[in-house]
């Protein structure tokens, strides 16, 4: 194992720049390394430990495997990167080319088949540099078409409305330095651009600016910038949901980083899915394919170096893995795309041609069962080139295959594992060998039929396939179910392609003996519709694969379908696992049962009630195992049953079985250090000495952090980072989002970290939940003295950190209080948020010099948490109005009175007070009253009702000799408290 591993896909940087070098930082040999950055002098922190000891002390069943997997991801990615760079050639000094038809197998000097060249623009004419990815945009107002091409030095925008006379409109410079990797996608009239440059983030560009560029070319400016990640390799957008998925970023451990584009010009972070392996590319769709278990769900299919992962991202705060598929001969799982019916997935591997010497290979997976995709074929093409990016459109797959250029394949025989090449345009005529030159990307989705291809060393190719007239066959549904002796039916649609005119005949093959098909219209004039009717009288029950075909004299189109025949209601399902009465079952259990006779689907029900009066979970599935996707309650007995259904009716319920979910301790200890040194043992020893049970989550020095669902069963989270060298300390964007959701449900959080602020900056969690007003990195405090209502009386301690001291100052805002004071100011804050409590220390608790000091500090915090947790008197998991008990200070109570009521001469907001010292509950509001009599507020005027801040405006200065009195009433769901008023006379203010 390598001595030092940084997270795959990260834009890793040294912890310190040269300008901040201090005593104790030594020059390094092998400690840090450059990662595609400009030449710069830099230094690293010195640590008196052997780097080879990293990761060795982690939990072997979790972290050792993750470490090996991530290292494999890093090595695979770096192999591609190194080969790409090594095999690059100087940008060719090519001339621009006018329209040239494909004739006799050539379009000028370019080999071709059924693809005309409309225009070619060399890189020098569209901004220079070398080329990378390409995408397109059609203006919904004008219908104009635009090619958008990435280059090392920016993004080019080209008007191709008149494809034979394209116009280069201008360049969007990169957000940072140049890079060979730049990817673009489009949503809602905006382009989104990512790059592997460190700190690049995601550029947002309003494409409507292209409508009026008076004197092109111009230099464009980004409309907005999204900076919640730095580097990213690629970007996918699901236009049906308005979410973007950045992959290979410096966050989420290289897994998909979710971005909400509801406001296209102001992207918002929406979550993460942390993958074991770096995600190189992904396609995300609302699923409408043949697997009914996932219909209507939003899924992403991730190309993850050595495997294909299918994940469910419907709930962006709680994504989950559906399946992981590994295939033989994998070298670098690069990119793939679903067929338009979502039945098959075509996948390209970027290193297998070089590593194994075979021809260009496209793997075809049957996705009928998303939980278990099946590799049905590895199709070898005629050339030896490396396949790069592919997309499906109108029954064809368009491939950018590096030196082989654009290849277009027909998908009619994909069920048999066969692709048929129907057209190509070779942009690199010198060679079709397996090297990283030629075509990077292709965009085939313009309504005009224009196709654009980006050449790495060449430029922009504007092409037009000239396909023969044809027709397309669609059948809905393809899964037919019928109760014998009934009729199974499906709708047939025939559409023309490339100007087809004619009649086609319909037929079937593969129907079971006794089945008789008929068509409502046959033959069908294209475009046109028909209906297939299948009489199954006398057919033996079973599942039958068959084919529906449409033919004319020369063309044949086929659709695979399945017929399920039953002749009675299904039998009873037999439950299998977990066994009846099982205990310590996970909160998202896997339930299994035996197949029932003639079952088409199964209805699974889970309830806390043996009579199933209320359901905790229910689902309909076609398979005999199911993972419950909603987290069940802890330490709770659940009852479950299954019944089978088919077109003939509903079968009997299975016997009812029960299981009891696992008890979860109150505390989750998040180990976010780098194990060099490993400080976990100090926390676990202290918790055990205090008699506290806990579970451990090890981030493995990455952003593999607990999700909201993983946090849900815990009442307290203790998050420590040690010196977190080589990663980023504290929760990342996904971890912060999960913590926000968890805290809002009565969570209690302690973060003990000397580098959380330095690595992450002043984050939303720090501001909104931790009560931080400001922080300063690396002040290196030597002492810590407890302050405030929680830690007062602890210390002063002289810190003795087991690593270099890079502690931070942390200052409290008005909603929080100072928790610890150090030799150079505040080094900790704590906040009572009503429904949650938090503490953030800018130093590691492991730096406290004595065991007693460590345990005492931890005990003070946990005791403070216990006060919050005990407020949930009805134990429903949330402290709320149902827990109110004014006579018991350990549960939610009415608030204490406000204090410090003052008046100023300001025109507005001149009446101010301090919030209660005891809020008692969340949702505290204030009523402000005004009266001319101190003892009589019954007839007072109300200045404000239900105010949420501690200020209001006292209007109407009293007349000479009069005195006005004010009263502030504070209330929450548990009750009301009235504080002291203050008078205001006509002669002045107190």
SS (H, E, C) 854-879: HHHHHHHHHHHHHHHHHCCCCCCCCC
| Architecture of the domain whose range is 277-467 | 6 Propeller (2.120)
Q: What is the structure's pLDDT at 217?
A: 97
Q: Is the per-residue pLDDT at 577 higher than 60?
A: yes
Q: What is the rounded average pLDDT of the residues 830-849?
A: 93
Q: What is the pLDDT of residue 50?
A: 23
Domains 470-566 and 899-985 share a fold: yes
Average pLDDT score, the chain: 84
Question: Mean pLDDT, to the nearest integer, of 647-675?
Answer: 93
CATH topology of domain 667-870: Rossmann fold (3.40.50)
Q: What is the pLDDT of residue 45?
A: 29
* Residue scoring higher pLDDT (530 or 885): 530
Does the pLDDT of residue 901 top 90, yes or no? no
The share of the chain scoring above pLDDT 70, in percent, equals 84
Yes or no: domain 899-985 corresponds to CATH 3.30.70? no
What's the confidence (pLDDT) of residue 909? 65
- 912 or 530: which carries more pLDDT confidence? 530
Report domain extents, the chain: 145-274, 277-467, 470-566, 597-661, 667-870, 899-985
How high is the pLDDT of residue 560? 87
pLDDT digits (tens, 9 = 90+) for 702-736: 888 998 888 988 999 999 999 887 778 999 888 89
Token output for 211: 């409508």
- Overall fold of domain 470-566: Immunoglobulin-like (2.60.40)
Q: What value does the mean pLDDT take over residues 799-816?
A: 91
Which of 33-47, 200-214, 408-422 has the weakest average pLDDT?
33-47
pLDDT at position 71: 47
How would residue 33 be classed by pLDDT, with cut points 50, 70 and 90?
very low
* Local confidence band at 15 (pLDDT 50, 70, 90 cut-offs): very low
Q: pLDDT tens, 620-654? A: 998 899 988 787 888 899 999 999 999 999 999 99
pLDDT for position 746: 85
Tens digit of pLDDT for each residue in 48-87?
A: 222 222 222 222 222 233 334 444 555 566 677 677 777 7
DSSP string, 332-346: -EEEEEE-TTSSEEE
- Hey, what CATH topology would domain 597-661 get? Immunoglobulin-like (2.60.40)
pLDDT band at 946 (very low <50, low <70, confident <90, very high): confident
Burial class (CB in 10 A: 0-12, 13-18, 19+), 494: buried
Whole-number percent of the chain with pLDDT over 90: 57
Paired with 606 in beta bridges are 617, 640
Q: Where residue 799 falls among pLDDT bands split at 50, 70, 90?
A: very high
- Nearest to residue 766, comparing CAs of 739, 795, 804? 739
Residue 516 contacts residue 569 (beta carbons within 8 Å): no
Tens digits of per-residue pLDDT, 542-561? 999 999 999 998 899 999 89
Answer yes or no: is pLDDT of 164 > 50: yes
Is-contact 926 969, C-beta < 8 A? yes
Q: What is the pLDDT of residue 984?
A: 32
The residue among 413 and 984 whose pLDDT is bigger is: 413
Query: Would the pLDDT of 889 be above 70?
Result: no
Question: Does 683 have pLDDT greater than 80?
Answer: yes
Q: How many CB atoms lie within 10 A of CB 815?
A: 17
Q: Is the pLDDT of residue 970 over 70?
A: yes
What span, in angstroms and rounded, lies between the C-alpha atoms of 26 and 22?
9
d(CA 85, CA 179): 11
The arithmetic mean of pLDDT across residues 257-268, rounded, is 94
Whether 36 shows a pLDDT value over 70: the answer reads no
**Is the pLDDT higher at 22 or at 132?**
132
Instruction: Tally the residues of the chain.
Output: 990
- The C-alpha angle with vertex 844 and arms to 842 and 847, in degrees rounded to 5, equals 125
Place of tokens 């088919």: 646
Least confident window among 331-345, 468-482, 872-886: 872-886
């Amino acid at each position: 194992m390598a001595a030092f591993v940084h997270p795959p896909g990260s834009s890793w940087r040294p912890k310190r720049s040269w300008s901040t070098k201090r005593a104790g930082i030594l020059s390094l040999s092998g400690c840090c390394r450059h990662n595609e950055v400009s030449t710069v002098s830099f230094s690293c922190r010195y640590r008196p430990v052997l780097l080879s000891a990293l990761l060795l002390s982690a939990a072997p069943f979790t972290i050792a495997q993750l470490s090996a997997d991530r290292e494999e991801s890093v090595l695979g990615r770096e192999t591609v990167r190194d080969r790409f760079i090594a095999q690059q050639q100087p940008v060719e000094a090519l001339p621009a080319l006018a329209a040239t038809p494909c004739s006799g197998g050539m379009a000028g000097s370019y080999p071709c088949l059924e693809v005309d060249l409309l225009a070619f623009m060399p890189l020098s004419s569209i901004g220079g540099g070398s080329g990378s990815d390409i995408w397109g945009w059609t203006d919904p107002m004008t219908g104009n078409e635009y090619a958008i091409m990435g280059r090392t030095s920016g993004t080019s925008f080209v008007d191709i409305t008149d494809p034979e006379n394209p116009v280069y409109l201008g360049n969007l410079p990169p957000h940072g330095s140049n890079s060979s990797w730049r990817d673009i996608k489009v949503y809602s009239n905006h382009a989104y651009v990512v790059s592997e440059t460190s700190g690049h983030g995601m550029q947002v560009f309003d494409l409507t600016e292209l409508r009026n560029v008076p004197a092109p070319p111009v230099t464009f400016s980004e409309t907005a910038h999204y900076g919640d990640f730095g580097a990213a390799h690629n970007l996918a957008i699901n236009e049906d949901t308005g979410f973007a998925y950045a992959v290979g970023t410096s966050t989420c451990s290289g897994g998909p980083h979710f971005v909400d584009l509801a406001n296209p010009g102001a992207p918002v972070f929406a979550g993460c899915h942390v993958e074991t392996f770096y995600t190189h590319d992904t396609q995300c769709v609302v699923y409408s394919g043949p697997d009914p278990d996932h219909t209507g769900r939003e899924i992403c299919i991730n190309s993850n170096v050595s495997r294909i992962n299918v994940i469910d991202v419907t709930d962006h705060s709680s994504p989950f893995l559906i399946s992981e598929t590994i295939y033989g001969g994998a070298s670098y799982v690069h990119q793939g795309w679903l067929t338009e019916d979502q039945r098959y997935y075509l996948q390209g591997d970027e290193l297998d041609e070089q590593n194994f010497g075979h021809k260009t290979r496209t793997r075809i997976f049957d996705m009928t069962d998303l939980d278990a995709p099946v590799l049905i074929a590895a199709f070898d093409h005629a050339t030896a080139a490396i396949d790069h990016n592919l997309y499906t459109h109108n029954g064809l797959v368009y491939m950018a295959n590096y030196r082989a250029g654009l290849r277009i394949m027909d998908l009619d025989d994909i069920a048999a594992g066969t692709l048929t090449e129907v057209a190509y345009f070779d942009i690199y005529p010198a060679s079709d060998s397996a090297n990283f030159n030629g075509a990077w990307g292709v965009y085939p989705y313009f309504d005009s039929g224009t196709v654009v291809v980006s050449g790495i060393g060449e430029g922009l190719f504007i092409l037009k396939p000239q396909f023969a007239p044809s027709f397309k066959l669609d059948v809905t549904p393809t899964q037919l179910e019928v109760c014998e002796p009934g009729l199974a039916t499906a709708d047939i649609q025939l559409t023309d392609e490339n100007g087809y005119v004619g009649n086609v005949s319909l037929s079937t093959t593969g129907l079971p003996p006794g089945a008789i098909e008929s068509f409502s219209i046959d033959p069908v004039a294209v475009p046109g519709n028909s209906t297939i009717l299948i009489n199954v009288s006398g057919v033996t029950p079973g599942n039958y694969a068959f084919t529906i075909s449409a033919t004319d004299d020369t063309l044949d189109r086929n659709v695979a379908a399945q017929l399920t025949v039953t002749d009675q209601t299904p039998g009873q399902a037999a439950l299998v696992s977990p066994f009846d009465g099982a205990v310590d079952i996970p909160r998202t259990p896997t339930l299994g049962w035996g197949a029932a006779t003639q079952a088409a689907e199964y209805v699974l029900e889970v309830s806390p009630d043996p009579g199933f009066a209320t359901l905790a979970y229910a689902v309909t599935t076609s398979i005999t195992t199911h993972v419950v996707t909603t987290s069940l309650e802890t330490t709770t007995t659940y009852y479950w049953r299954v019944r089978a259904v088919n077109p003939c009716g509903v079968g009997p319920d299975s016997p009812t079985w029960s299981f009891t979910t696992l008890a979860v301790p109150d505390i989750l200890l998040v180990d976010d250090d780098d194990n060099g040194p490993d400080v976990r043992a100090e926390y676990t020893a202290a918790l055990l000495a205090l008699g506290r049970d806990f579970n451990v989550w090890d981030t493995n020095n990455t952003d593999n952090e607990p999700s909201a669902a993983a946090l849900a069963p815990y009442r307290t989270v203790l998050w420590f980072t040690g010196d977190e060298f080589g990663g980023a300390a504290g929760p990342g964007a996904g971890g912060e989002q999960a913590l926000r959701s968890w805290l809002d449900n009565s969570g209690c959080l302690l973060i003990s970290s000397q580098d959380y602020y330095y690595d992450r900056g002043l984050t939303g969690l720090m501001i909104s939940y931790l009560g931080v007003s400001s922080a300063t990195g690396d002040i290196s405090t030597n002492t810590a003295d407890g302050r405030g209502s929680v830690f007062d009386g602890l210390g002063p301690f002289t810190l003795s950190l087991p690593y270099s001291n890079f502690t931070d100052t942390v200052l409290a805002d008005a909603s929080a209080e100072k928790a610890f004071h150090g030799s150079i100011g505040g080094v900790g804050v704590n906040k009572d948020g009503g429904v949650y409590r938090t503490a953030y220390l800018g130093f590691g608790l492991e730096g406290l010099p004595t065991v007693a000091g460590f345990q005492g500090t931890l005990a003070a915090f946990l005791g403070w948490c216990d006060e919050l947790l005990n407020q949930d008197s009805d134990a429903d998991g949330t402290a709320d109005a149902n827990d109110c008990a004014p006579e018991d200070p350990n549960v939610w109570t009415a608030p204490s009175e406000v204090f410090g009521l003052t008046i100023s001469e300001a025109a507005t907001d001149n009446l101010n007070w301090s919030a209660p010292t005891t809020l008692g509950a969340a949702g505290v509001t204030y009523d402000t009253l005004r009266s001319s009599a101190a003892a009589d507020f019954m007839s007072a005027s109300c200045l404000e009702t239900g105010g949420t801040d501690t200020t209001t405006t006292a209007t109407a200065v009293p007349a000479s000799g009069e005195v006005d009195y004010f009263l502030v009433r504070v209330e929450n769901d548990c009750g009301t408290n009235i504080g002291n008023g203050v008078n205001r006379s006509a002669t002045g203010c107190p």
